[in-house]
Amino acid sequence: MTDTAVMDAKRRYIIQELKAHGCRITTQRKILIDIILEDECCCCKEMYYQALEKDPSIGMATVYRMVKTLEEIGLIKRKNMYHIECTSQEDSFAVQ
């Protein structure tokens, strides 16, 4: 699989998991998913500034809520940086 295909598969999996947990998939959430997948962000503030470049209407609270949701679902782990972990029965991949 190419890097783009892997990123697309991870993005689809994350969106699928968010939907399964009753979350609406908004443009702002998609932006944040892309930012987390593309970069190793060390804090929500860093994610916020990157998201602002793509959507000036995004708020800091949106970033914190999204990170909290991803943590609660078990898709993101917080150590020194935020990383999305994706594992599914069909596709085996993990970002750490």
Phi and psi for 33 in degrees, rounded to 5?
A: -60, -45
Q: What is the pLDDT of residue 77?
A: 75
**Whole-model pTM?**
0.79
Q: What is the pLDDT of residue 87?
A: 53
pLDDT band at 66 (very low <50, low <70, confident <90, very high): very high
Residue ranges of the domains in the chain? 3-84
Q: Which of 35, 14, 33, 30 is nearest to 87 (CA)?
A: 14
- Which residue do the tokens 């959430």 mark? 29
Q: Look at domain 3-84 and name its CATH class.
A: mainly alpha
Alpha helices for 1-96 (secondary structure H): 3-20, 27-38, 44-54, 60-73
CB 49 within 8 A of CB 34: no
